[in-house]
Amino acid sequence: MRVILFCHSLVSDWNHGNAHFLRGICSELLARGHEVGVYEPRDAWSVTHLLAGHGEQALRAFARAYPHLRSHRYDRETLDLDPALAGADLVLVHEWNEHDLVRRIGLHRKANPHYRLLFHDTHHRSVTQPQDMAAYDLRHYDGVLAFGSVIRDLYRRHGWCERAWTWHEAADTHMFRPLAPGPGPGTVSRPPGTGSLVWIGNWGDGERSAELQEFLLEPVRALGLKARVHGVRYPAHALESLRQAGIDYGGWLPNHEAPRVFARHDVTVHVPRRPYVQALPGIPTIRVFEALACGIPLVCAPWDDCEGLFEPGADFLVARDGREMREQLRAVLADPALARSLADHGLRTIAARHSCARRVDELLGIYAELSPPRQAAREVNA
């Protein structure tokens, strides 16, 4: 099968978490013998920021980590959809694409009904910027892949697209796996006295500033933990807050390096952005899947797992406020048996339910569910 993906970027994960999941999906499809073509704009803002801060070596590092992945970096003005989509069976268009490109691909699908066309939504804009999402022209799309049931239902309720499926993100378990501290293959160096807590995430636009203070910075300061933070878009006041809490700031971390960083630490936390807590229950970020896949104990700030993705208390601990976060972190760090139990249970859950291999199974099931191309062609030509 020939699968074509249009995304913001595959090569850059600078402030672009969607690249994590898309890399895993493409890798899994390729491993199963499918043909995959990826298209991303040459001037993607994520790539622009990555190059400005880290240079071409960052792109070379991606190529070394994912030698099997390639993307066509196109210019919007000269993109020719006919050769790009020739022979396609399934086309996925991610929501971080320009409205005009989404419309153009839909019109191409109308004139060339030999492939199935799906829109892929992995953001909270359906709630926070509904007018922007309503402006996407999805009339000729076969449906929407939404990374949470609440978003799926919004598409149906607003009439943005007739058909929609829930397609959660997941961990690329070939890349994200436990790496034991110590010498030897599959291990990382862990000097004495290092470890404790690590958090990988971006500061962003103030969507969780208060939550980070309550569930990350203050517990680290109060417990006197050795801690490190990786991410981008940290303004000066955020960096000062890290300094006051005694937290080392490590800057941008290439996502493929996260397993090694997790292996050097004892615990991590999940602090969801406010829109996901208040309006989009049931949707964790991909960082939850990746952390559990790496076998590091996880403590979460409150979020409603209303879709039953995990088993709170067994896959991870939940802290309802800053005081409970301090207690939960203290318990994990003081009790190796508890830490091991959380790590093992989380690993089993990811392997059984939340790997990119499972998501590809789901995707191929949705593809099979759609009307066969010959039937669609008859409907268009009728």
| CATH number where 281 lies | 3.40.50.2000
185 within some domain: yes
66 within some domain: yes
* pLDDT one-digit tens code per residue, 249-269: 999 999 999 999 999 999 999
Residue 364, both tokens: 């191929």
* Residue 180, pLDDT score: 77
The answer to whether 8 and 120 are in contact (CB under 8 A) is no
* pLDDT one-digit tens code per residue, 5-39: 999 999 999 999 999 999 999 999 999 999 999 99
* Residue 379, pLDDT score: 44
Q: What is the pTM of this model?
A: 0.93
Residue 18, both tokens: 């969607």
- Taking residue 82's Cβ as centre, other Cβ atoms within 10 Å add up to 9
Q: Is 192 in the same domain as 157?
A: no
24 within some domain: yes
Query: Helices H, strands E: what count in the chain?
Result: 18, 15
* Residue 206, pLDDT score: 76
- Taking residue 136's Cβ as centre, other Cβ atoms within 10 Å add up to 21
Angstrom distance (rounded) from CA 217 to CA 239: 11
**pLDDT greater at residue 380 or residue 154:** 154
Angstrom distance (rounded) from CA 58 to CA 78: 27
Indicate the residue type of 372: P
* Residue 374, pLDDT score: 43
Query: What DSSP line would sit under 311-344, residue for residue?
Result: -BTTTBEE-SSHHHHHHHHHHHHH-HHHHHHHHH
* Residue 380, pLDDT score: 46
* pLDDT one-digit tens code per residue, 72-84: 999 999 999 999 9
* Residue 188, pLDDT score: 64
145 within some domain: yes
The residue-averaged pLDDT of 108-135 equals 94
At residue 184 the predicted structure's pLDDT band, cuts being 50, 70 and 90, is: low
Q: Is 221 in the same domain as 281?
A: yes
Q: Is 140 in the same domain as 209?
A: no
For the ranges 57-61, 187-191, 222-226, 350-354, the lowest mean pLDDT is seen at 187-191
| % of residues, the chain, pLDDT over 70 | 93
Task: Provide the domain count of the chain.
Answer: 2
For the ranges 61-75, 156-170, 195-209, 237-251, the lowest mean pLDDT is seen at 195-209
| % of residues, the chain, pLDDT over 90 | 87
Angstrom distance (rounded) from CA 147 to CA 166: 6
Q: Is 153 in the same domain as 200?
A: no
* pLDDT one-digit tens code per residue, 319-349: 999 999 999 999 999 999 999 999 999 999 9
Q: Is 9 in the same domain as 104?
A: yes
For the ranges 67-71, 121-125, 181-185, 362-366, the lowest mean pLDDT is seen at 181-185
The answer to whether 93 and 105 are in contact (CB under 8 A) is yes
382 within some domain: no
At residue 143 the predicted structure's pLDDT band, cuts being 50, 70 and 90, is: very high
Nearest to 294 by CA among 247, 333, 260, 255: 260
**Does residue 248 carry a pLDDT above 60?**
yes
Q: Is 249 in the same domain as 278?
A: yes
What is the 8-class DSSP label of residue 190? Answer: -
Q: Is 130 in the same domain as 228?
A: no
Q: Is 234 in the same domain as 276?
A: yes
Q: Is 207 in the same domain as 117?
A: no
Which residues fall within 8 angstroms of residue 48, CB to CB, at 6 or more apart? none
Question: Angle 45-54/56-65 helices, nearest 10 degrees?
Answer: 110
166 within some domain: yes
Q: Is 322 in the same domain as 243?
A: yes
* Residue 70, pLDDT score: 96
Q: Is 270 in the same domain as 314?
A: yes
175 within some domain: no
381 within some domain: no
Average pLDDT over the chain reads 93
**pLDDT greater at residue 279 or residue 7:** 7
Q: Which domain holds residue 332?
A: 180-353
What is the 8-class DSSP label of residue 35? Answer: E
* Residue 375, pLDDT score: 46
Only one residue has tokens 């104990």, namely: 297
Q: Cα-flanking dihedrals φ and ψ of residue 170, to 5°?
A: -165, 175
Q: Is 130 in the same domain as 59?
A: yes
